[in-house]
Structure 1
Amino acid sequence: MAGSPVVAELDLGGSGKQVGRLRVPLSRDDSGWGTQLVPIVVLANGSGPTVLLTAGNHGDEYEGQVALLDLARSLRPEEVRGRVILLPAMHYPACAAGKRLSPIDGRDFNRCFPGDPFGSFAQVLAHYVDSALLPLCDMQMDLHSGGTGMDILPSAVGHALDDPDMMTRTLAMADAFGAPITLVLREVNAGPTLLASAERRGIVALSSELGGGGRLHPENLAITKRGARNVLRHAGVLEGAPEVGPYGPSRRMTVPDMGHYVFAPVDGIWEAADPLGTDVTAGAPAGRLHRTEDPGADPIPLTYAATGLLWCVRFAGRVKAGDPVAVIARDL
């Protein structure tokens, strides 16, 4: 595949602290040579591993964006052994708009990997991250939350991997991040994600889910800030051992299959039976789906198909057929 048309306006191999931009081509009716600027921060000092921390993959997920902005301001080059690359608003157009999908090309950036240098904006940017940044990395973490649609218990998230050594190293990184939950997930359409792209390159990598509801929750932000520094400590980029949160060691859990999801069968308004974090039982009521277009019909009852912890719930009231309204995790 051809090289990337994206230009980094800093030296990825340089020392010290650099704050710059990625210049992504974006031709418009009124600007044929237009570009979109994506903020990037690089801190490097001496020899050591490279860690890439990203946030703003989806623009309506805020804990990671604010945590990496804080890290970009506070981290000093002399603290670093190796290199830290920060993309606090990776999918910048979506971040500026506060939206999950790109306001430029309508794409979900986290379903564009490994990208295409000849594609639309999101595909071009994904190709640059995959082809120019990931090959530099020893570890990578992409900070997510539930956005405007979902609310999720704060978790470090890894995929279920066939390689036992990589699975062990991934779980060790997740334990170091120190969220209340470490989740091994089989997610819907995982292949085109940044996490899967890093895994294909043999990089120890994590995602996360750190709240949601389209808001910035102070407790979840504290977890995210501590976790980002913990990953750098775990990698050996920062000195010291990872800090343990006030809730103790991370609880290892899994969502092993689609049977642990509850999906809406039709459009409607979702009325959940239980709050996030409830222990639920297979066969128990999950909630009811109200159909405004049929006022004479009873709400549609839905039940849980699995027993475990209510790890993720629908936050937005209105749902469409096929939307997940609940996800159940069980202990790993």
Structure 2
Amino acid sequence: MAASPVSTDVDFSKPGRQVGRLRVPRSRDDSGWGTELIPIVVVANGEGPTILLTAGNHGDEYEGQVTLLDLARTLQPGDVTGRVILLPAMHYPACAAGKRLSPIDGKDFNRCFPGDPFGTFGQVLAHYVDSVLLPMCDFQMDLHSGGTGMDILPSACGHALDDPEMMRRTLDMADAFGAPITMVLVEVNAGPTLLAQAERRGIVALSSELGGGGRLNPENLVITQRGARNVLRHAGVLTGTPQVGPYGPSRRMTIPDLAHYVFAPHDGIWEAADPLGAMVAKGAPAGRLHLTEDPDRHAIPLNYAADGLLWCARFAGRVRAGDPVAVIARDL
């Protein structure tokens, strides 16, 4: 694979605190040599592990962006043993637009890994993250929430891994993050995600889901801010031990298969039967799907196909055929 065309004004080998930009080529009608600037902060001091913290993978997910902006402003070299790399608005064009998908190439950035140096904007940026940043790292965490479309109980998330030692280290890191839930995911189309790419490189890595609805939830922000510093402590980059939240140790849960998802069979308006966080039963009503184009037809009832905790619920009322409207979790 060719070298990345992305450049930066930070020196990753240099101690101290640096605030700079990634310069990602973007040729436009009015600027053939144009670039997009992605903010990056590096704080380094002495010998120790490197951790990459990212947010704004999707532009409509806000708890992580605000958390890393706070860290970027406050973290000082004297606080750190090792190196912290922060991308508070990793997919900056989507962050500036407040959208999940890129306003430049229409792609979901978190489905662009490992990327392509000759590809579209998102693929070029993903290739830089994968080929330049990830090889420096011992730990990585990508901060997500449910965005505009979904609302999700605050969780640290990892994938189910075949390597038992990596699975143990992932769960240890998730326990340290200290969200109310630690989720081991079998998710839809996980392969091209940043989390999966970090796992393939042998990096101890986590994602998260920390709310949603296209808003910044104050309670979830507190969980995210505490969790990010907890991960730095767990990695040995900050001193001290991780802090436990007021809800106690994280509850380990899983979504083992697609039977734990409820998918809309048609376009329509979703009317949920239960609030987020409810305990639900297999066969019980999950809600009704109203067909606005056919007012003479009864709403379509949908049922849960598994017992468990309503971990993720549709936030936006309008859905399309194939959209998940509910996701059920059960204890690991």
Matches within 5 A, 1:225-240: 225-240=225-240
- Unmatched 5+ stretches in structure 2: none
Tell me the residue number matched to 2:35. 35
Per the alignment, residue 251 of structure 1 pairs with 251
1:131 matched residue in structure 2: 131
Shift of 1:12: 1.1
Q: Distance in 2 between matches of 1:205 and 1:8?
A: 24
- Distance in 1 between the 2:10 and 2:185 partners? 36
Provide the residue aligned with 1:77 in structure 2.
77
Counterparts of 1:8 and 1:262, CA distance in 2: 44
Q: Give me the TM-score of the superposition, normalised by structure 1.
A: 1.00
Tell me how far 1:327 sits from its aligned partner.
0.1
- Give the whole-Å Cα distance in 1 for the aligned partners of 2:220 and 2:74: 19
| Alpha-carbon distance in structure 2 between the residues aligned to 1:237 and 1:55 | 19
Aligned to 1:178: 178
Instruction: Please tell me the residue identity of whatever aligns with 2:30.
Output: D
1:208 equivalent in structure 2: 208
Q: Distance in 2 between matches of 1:214 and 1:205?
A: 25
Give the 5 Å matches for 1:99-110: 99-110=99-110
In the aligned structure 1, how far is the partner of 2:271 from the partner of 2:71? 39
**Structure 2: distance between partners of 1:60 and 1:331:** 29
Alignment RMSD (CA, Å):
0.3
The Cα offsets for residues 121-148 of structure 1, whole Å up to 9 and x where unpaired, read as: 0000000000000000000000000000
Partner residue in 1 for 2:278:
278
* Displacement over 2 Å in runs of 4+: none
Q: CA–CA distance in 2 between the matches of 1:13 and 1:279?
A: 50
Give the distance between the partners of 1:87 and 1:65, measured in 2 at CA. 9
Q: Deviations over 1:104-159 (max 9, x none)?
A: 00000000000000000000000000000000000000000000000000000000
SS at match of 1:64: helix
CA distance in 1, matches of 2:15, 2:193: 30
Q: Give the total of aligned pairs.
A: 332
Which one-letter code corresponds to 2:108 in the other structure? Answer: D
Aligned to 1:58: 58
Q: Separation in 2 of the partners of 1:75 and 1:137?
A: 18
The 3-state SS of whatever aligns with 1:211 is coil
Letter in structure 2 aligned against 1:47: E
1: CA distance, partners of 2:310 / 2:202: 32
User: Which residue of structure 2 lines up, in the alignment, with residue 19 of structure 1?
Assistant: 19
CA distance in 1, matches of 2:250, 2:103: 36
Measure how far apart 1:13 and its partner are: 1.1
Identity score, percent: 83
- Could you tell me how far 1:8 is from its partner in structure 2? 1.2
| Partners of 1:14 and 1:149 in 2: CA distance | 41
SS in 2 for 1:162: coil
In the other structure, the counterpart of 1:305 is: 305
1:314 paired with 2:314, answer yes
SS of structure 2 residue aligned to 1:93: helix
Which amino acid counterpart does residue 40 of structure 2 have in structure 1? I
List alignment gaps of at least 5 residues for structure 1. none
Provide the residue aligned with 1:193 in structure 2.
193
Amino acid at match of 2:269: I
Distance 1:14 1:150 in 2: 41
**Which residue is equivalent to 1:86?**
86
> Given the two structures, how large is their TM-score scaled by the length of structure 2?
1.00
Q: Which amino acid aligns with 2:80?
A: V
Which letter does structure 2 place at the counterpart of 1:168? R
Question: Any idea what the Cα deviations from partners look like across 1:202-226, whole Å, max 9, x if unmatched?
Answer: 0000000000000000000000000
Report the AA paired with residue 72 of structure 2.
A
Structure 1 residue 99: Cα displacement? 0.1
Q: Give the Cα–Cα distance (whole angstroms) in 2 for the partners of residues 226 and 76 of structure 1.
A: 17
Secondary structure at 2:321's aligned position in 1? coil
Q: Is 1:151 aligned to 2:151, yes or no?
A: yes
- Equivalent position amino acid for 1:254 in 2: T
* 1:325 alignment counterpart: 325
- Tell me the secondary structure at the aligned position of residue 195 of structure 1: helix
Tell me, what secondary structure is at the counterpart of 1:212? coil
1:161 alignment counterpart: 161
- Secondary structure, aligned partner of 2:277: coil
Task: Tell me the distance in 2 between the aligned counterparts of 1:101 and 1:92.
Answer: 11
CA distance in 2, matches of 1:74, 1:298: 56
SS in 2 for 1:40: strand
